[in-house]
Amino acid sequence: MAPFFIALLLATQQLPAEESEQAALLEGKALIQKLPSQQKDGSGSGYELIYVVDAPLEVYWKFKTDFDNDYIVSNKFIISHRLVSQHGNVVVTEDIFSEDLYTHKRKAKFLWQTTLFLPQYRLDFVLLNPAECGQKFHYGSIQLETFGVSSQKTKITQRAYFDFFGVSFWVNYPWYGGMKHFLRYTARWEQDTVLRLKPKYIQKSAQ
């Protein structure tokens, strides 16, 4: 009987935590946690970012996969963005980030390869030129799913792994320009941008 009661106790402890997480997401908060390195030598770091946007899954998918856009530079940490190529479900884009975010390699052109998996509503991304950007590696995934009973919201779970000089400091720095500040700002920026552009992508999803 002991294993049963232990499992029951764990389940009852987990429910309030899950309810608290759901409530935070409904309030528009971003949930962030550090992830351990996936490298054998333990190098680098990672994060998990979870947030919710006020748009149905199909509409948000159109927004997220519109790589030839100009709205992304309204994010204060992104100076420029352009679509380099798109072949099937593989897309390459180029971004230049603000010096407030990447002070160690100023005006570096980040070449991102993103692979789209439409049935799973998943995007996998990898930095193609890490050395040019002062990094050893940078890759991750973005998983989308319907959130809530009304199906009018989308939950985003983004995980990334990376390594560069000063990575431990950036991950743990709690103020402006640090990882958590950047991720919270970006989640809020995207929530506001999706809301502003939702009519446009509702039309695109209906085509």
Domain ranges of the chain: 43-206
Q: What is the C-alpha separation between 172 and 72, in angstroms, rounded?
A: 26
Q: Does domain 43-206 have CATH number 3.40.640.10?
A: no
Mean pLDDT of 109-114: 97
3-12, 33-42, 90-99, 123-132: segment of lowest average pLDDT: 3-12
pTM score: 0.89
Average pLDDT, the chain: 91
Beta bridge partners of 48: 33, 159
Q: What is the C-alpha separation between 46 and 38, in angstroms, rounded?
A: 8
| pLDDT at residue 177, rounded to an integer | 86
